[in-house]
């Protein structure tokens, strides 16, 4: 602990070594073409399959592209059944429905995630309870999850997301869920292609979901998929996603259905993309590693992962500003204020500076328990109930990890097509924010 403290003090010293070596911004001009956070990377194969759908007139929710996409994903992930759907959110909704969530039932959900992880619970009138984040992977904290079961022992469904393509602490979470006889829904929307102990994400939940949204590592412009080893569940999803039509000469319906099946045209785009998954992951990893090297002597750290047990898909690279190097920043619901301080910076300053040079970055996803929509929902930390933990009569404060990461973190431009030279400029811009 003493050595760690010395390291922190070294990084937090006002006389940063990098300040004398940092390139000045006077010679850097805004990019003519915008540098995106994560835009689609197209290869040309996509057009062939879209054209095939057009020429064969299979412009519907059935066709060869859909069949092939399901087959290829099964082979890549190792799951037994894959059902192609209109969005990853649709897949999550049907997963929640498969899990049998009833109105008013509490469901444990990852807190530091996009709202599409959580909203499907509400579609089925369930009651999300948010589980705080751990610092090792920025995903659901197993310790907080165990505390949640102490408070709500009857919960039977847990929705787990892998943030930014980084696998969470899967073994620990699975062990806890098994002990409490709870079913896991795995949100692998951002982590397609990532592995944990050699096994693909999207195969750890009873029902798992992936996404082909426009900024994901594989895109169809939209689209998603439900993965499962349960044949009955897969067949149920196929039925629900096509308006629950019964086997009859007319439109016969015995249960509620949805218009959730993937289009054969969209499937053509996904089909053309899938052979490039490993290439995209390698490109994303190279981007992450260049950032890591470029920031090694300034007071920030990269979004972490378990290098011994997992291999992320590195969908988004992020930084977390050291506490001692954070300038004052106050965020409201829609606006933010900050104070410029020498030798320090904050996410807002970094994002504004990037924007000046025609570069897109983003704040870290705002934790779900902080969203106005969910301000009345339960939130559990390692200490138990995470709501109203402040105390005017006691020193110290309760640690809310998700809020801390949100306050100090930045999603960096992670587009596959970014060049090393462009990334060097981005690194220089961010380094200069700490002068």
| Domains of the chain and CATH, by start | 11-40+278-381+400-432 (3.90.1150.10), 45-275 (3.40.640.10)
Secondary-structure percent of the chain, ordered helix, strand, coil, rounded to 5: 40, 20, 45
pLDDT tier at 190, thresholds 50, 70, 90: very high
pLDDT tier at 206, thresholds 50, 70, 90: very high
Cβ atoms of 205 and 186 closer than 8 Å: yes
- pLDDT on residue 324: 97
- In sequence order, the 6+-apart residues with CB closer than 8 A to the CB of 206 are 99, 183, 184, 185, 228, 230, 233
266, two tokens = 């969209």
pLDDT digits (tens, 9 = 90+) for 403-416: 999 999 999 999 99
Backbone angles phi, psi at 261, to 5 degrees: -75, 145
Region 350-355: mean pLDDT is 98
Cβ atoms of 201 and 192 closer than 8 Å: yes
- pLDDT on residue 392: 62
Could you tell me the pTM of the whole model?
A: 0.93
C-beta neighbour count of 56 within 10 angstroms: 12
> Taking 50 as the threshold, does the pLDDT of residue 220 lie above it?
yes
């Amino acid at each position: 602990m003493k050595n760690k403290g010395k390291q922190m003090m070294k990084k937090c010293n006002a006389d940063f070594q990098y300040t004398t070596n940092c390139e000045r911004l006077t010679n850097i001009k805004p990019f003519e073409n915008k540098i995106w956070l994560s835009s689609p990377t197209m290869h040309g194969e996509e057009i062939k399959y879209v054209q095939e759908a057009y020429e064969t007139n299979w412009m519907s929710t059935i066709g060869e592209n859909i069949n092939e996409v399901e087959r290829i994903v099964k082979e890549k992930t190792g799951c037994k059944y894959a059902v192609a759907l209109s969005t990853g959110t649709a897949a999550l909704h049907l997963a929640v429905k498969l899990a049998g969530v009833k109105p008013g039932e509490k469901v444990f959900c990852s807190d530091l995630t996009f709202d599409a992880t959580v909203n499907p619970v509400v579609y089925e009138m369930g009651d999300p309870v948010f589980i705080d984040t751990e610092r090792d992977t920025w995903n659901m904290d197993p310790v907080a999850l165990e505390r949640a079961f102490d408070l709500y022992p009857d919960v039977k469904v847990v929705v787990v997301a892998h943030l930014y393509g980084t696998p969470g602490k899967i073994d620990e979470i699975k062990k806890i869920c098994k002990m409490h006889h709870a079913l896991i829904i795995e949100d692998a929307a951002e982590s397609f292609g990532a592995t944990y102990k050699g096994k693909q994400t999207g195969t750890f939940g009873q029902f798992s979901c992936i996404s082909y949204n426009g900024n994901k590592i594989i895109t169809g412009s939209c689209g998603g998929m439900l993965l499962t080893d349960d044949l009955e569940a897969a067949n149920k999803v196929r039925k629900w996603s096509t308006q629950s039509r019964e086997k009859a000469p007319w439109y016969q319906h015995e249960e509620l259905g949805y218009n959730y099946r993937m289009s054969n045209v969209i499937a053509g785009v996904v089909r053309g993309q899938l052979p490039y998954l490993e290439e995209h992951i390698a490109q994303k990893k190279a981007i992450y590693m260049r950032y890591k090297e470029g920031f090694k002597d300034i007071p920030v750290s990269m979004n972490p992962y378990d290098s011994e047990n997992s291999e992320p898909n590195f969908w988004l690279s992020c930084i977390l500003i050291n506490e001692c190097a954070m300038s004052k920043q106050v965020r409201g619901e829609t606006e933010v204020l900050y104070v410029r301080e020498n030798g320090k910076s904050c996410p807002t300053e970094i994002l504004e500076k990037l924007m000046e040079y025609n570069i897109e970055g983003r704040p870290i996803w705002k934790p779900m328990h902080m969203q106005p929509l969910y301000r009345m929902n339960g939130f559990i930390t390692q200490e138990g109930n995470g709501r109203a933990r402040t105390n005017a009569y006691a020193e110290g404060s309760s640690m809310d990890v998700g809020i801390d990461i949100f306050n100090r973190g930045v999603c960096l431009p992670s587009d596959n097509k970014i060049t090393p030279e462009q990334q060097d400029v981005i690194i220089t811009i961010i380094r200069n924010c700490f002068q």
